[in-house]
């Protein structure tokens, strides 16, 4: 068996290499560049693929954990026409941009894996009837909460509304002798904050689509951002450090044992249940709270990642083999059971697997309460405008209304009328 190497791309620089043929005959050496969040999965999946592949060596390289840095790395390679990597992980919001620019190659499915898949992930990579990525896992955000702390202070279930969460967090913080964080979430100036704002907006019954345009400065939009600001500065359940935080920083903080509530993604389950985790066996997940009067709001954000092939790859057939493998039952079982990913294969959502990974059943319910970010080749521009202005409100450089009015002016200029 060939053994793939795993390197770290500390920034947006090319440390990759690729050589060999196209995987159709002889041997091929292929390069896989993935975001840091996927490092544990890759450590399993790369050697598993190499063991069953014929004469393919997979060199694996890691970018930083956040999606924005990974996208920047890929784009730097694309615009230079580089074939330095062959395959990568594509967020569900990137296909429009990648395909419009000719960066992602068509992905084939000769083994019919998509016949057994949940439809939404397939739709996310299908443009004009052609697949430009292979779905590898889906995602939905949830409320993580400390079961031991809620029980100790008299609560038998997690909060279902925004203010129930605030009141519960304040009560536990007041009663506890520990210095606890009430509620942490992704507040840094990155994609995570756009999604947080959407979570609150959707939970208030709002929408960002109006007559075909993207609109952020609606009353619901302003109220959603005001709630985020109030969590920090009025209710004081969210620490002032949150506007500089990102997804995995939140996970690490919660895992240290001094936080009551956290909003995060499914991947955190397996990491926080590892030996040495301060919260092992003392946390659970629940649907995100919603605004009062909106119990049926679909306010979790649909996420997920796909395996895509660099259009400049010199190893397209080997890349196709890897894409197919990532959708196989073997790979999907590993991601679901060992790394708490939400699989894309329907047969993994069954009692047989729920017994092995309890989180699967809970997240299956949460997936039914999701909404999708707007499908647009300009989405990344839209999101950057939103998160930069929302972050300015969180640190009180702007009021929520000022922030979203400023954002709307930019969106009208750069997205709606582009």
pLDDT in tens, 244-264: 999 999 999 999 999 999 999
Domains of the chain: 6-139+303-370 (3.40.190.10), 140-301+372-416 (3.40.190.10)
CA 295 to chain centre: 24
Instruction: State the chain's mean pLDDT as an integer.
Output: 93
- Least confidently predicted of 19-23, 38-42, 147-151, 340-344: 19-23
* pLDDT tens, position by position, 166-219: 999 999 999 999 999 999 999 999 999 999 999 999 999 999 999 989 999 999
Please give the C-alpha separations between residue 10 and each of 64, 98, 189, 307, 383, in angstroms, as whole numbers: 6, 23, 19, 21, 24
Region of poorest pLDDT, from 68-72, 129-133, 154-158: 68-72
Q: At what angle do helices 316-326 and 329-339 cross, to 10 degrees?
A: 60
Render pLDDT for 302-313 as a digit per residue (tens, 0 to 9).
999 999 999 999
Q: What pLDDT is attached to residue 258?
A: 97
pLDDT given at position 26: 61
* C-alpha span between 215 and 213 (Å, rounded): 6
Residue 268 pLDDT > 50: yes
User: How far is the C-alpha of 68 from the C-alpha of 158, rounded, in Å?
Assistant: 32
Distance of CA 240 to the CA centre of its chain: 23
Please report, rounded to a whole number, the percentage of residues in the chain having pLDDT higher than 70: 94
Q: Residue 139 — left, alpha, or beta (φ > 0 → left; ψ -120 to 50 → alpha)?
A: beta
Taking the C-alpha atoms of residue 342 and residue 335, their distance in angstroms, rounded to an integer, is 8
Place of tokens 């920083």: 249
pTM of the complete model beyond 0.75: yes
Pairing assessment for the beta strands 283-286 and 259-264 based on DSSP bridges: unpaired
Apex 180 CA angle, 177 and 182, nearest 5: 130
Specify whether the CB–CB gap between 73 and 35 falls below 8 A.
no
pLDDT greater at residue 274 or residue 18:
274
Q: In this predicted structure, what is the pLDDT of residue 20?
A: 38
């Amino acid at each position: 068996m060939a053994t793939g190497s795993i390197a770290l791309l500390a920034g947006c620089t090319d440390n990759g290499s690729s050589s060999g043929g196209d995987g159709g005959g002889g041997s091929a050496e292929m390069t896989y560049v993935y975001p840091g969040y996927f490092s544990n999965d890759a450590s399993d999946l790369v050697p598993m693929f190499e063991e069953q592949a014929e004469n393919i060596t997979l060199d694996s390289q890691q970018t930083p954990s956040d999606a924005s840095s990974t996208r920047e790395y890929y784009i730097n390679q694309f615009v230079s026409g580089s074939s330095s990597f062959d395959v990568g992980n594509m967020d569900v919001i990137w296909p429009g941009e990648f395909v419009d620019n000719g960066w992602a190659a068509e992905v084939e499915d000769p083994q019919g894996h998509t016949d057994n898949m949940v439809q939404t992930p397939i739709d996310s990579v299908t443009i004009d009837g052609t697949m430009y990525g292979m779905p590898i896992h889906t995602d939905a955000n949830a409320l993580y909460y400390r079961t031991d702390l809620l029980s100790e202070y008299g609560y038998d279930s997690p909060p279902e509304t925004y203010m129930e969460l605030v009141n519960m967090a304040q009560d536990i913080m007041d009663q506890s002798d520990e210095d606890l964080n009430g509620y942490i979430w992704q507040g840094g100036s990155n994609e995570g904050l756009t999604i947080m704002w959407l979570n609150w907006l959707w939970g208030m019954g709002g929408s960002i689509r109006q007559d075909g345009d993207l609109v952020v400065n609606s009353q619901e939009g302003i109220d959603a951002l005001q709630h985020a600001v109030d969590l920090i500065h009025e209710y004081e359940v969210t620490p002032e450090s949150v506007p500089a935080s990102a997804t995995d920083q939140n996970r690490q903080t919660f895992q240290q044992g001094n936080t009551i509530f956290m909003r995060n993604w499914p991947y955190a389950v397996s990491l926080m249940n590892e030996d040495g985790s301060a919260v092992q066996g003392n946390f659970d997940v629940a649907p995100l709270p919603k605004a009062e009067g909106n119990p049926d709001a679909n306010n979790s954000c649909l996420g997920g990642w796909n395996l895509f092939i660099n259009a400049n790859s010199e190893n397209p057939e080997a890349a196709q083999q890897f894409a197919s493998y990532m959708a196989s039952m073997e790979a999907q079982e590993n991601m679901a059971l060992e790394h708490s990913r939400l699989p894309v294969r329907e047969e993994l959502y069954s009692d047989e697997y729920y017994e092995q990974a309890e989180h699967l059943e809970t997240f299956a319910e949460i997936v039914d309460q999701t909404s999708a970010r707007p499908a647009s080749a300009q989405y990344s521009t839209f999101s950057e405008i939103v998160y930069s202005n929302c972050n300015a409100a969180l640190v009180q450089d702007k009021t929520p209304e000022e922030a979203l009015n400023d954002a709307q002016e930019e969106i009208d200029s750069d997205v709606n009328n582009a």
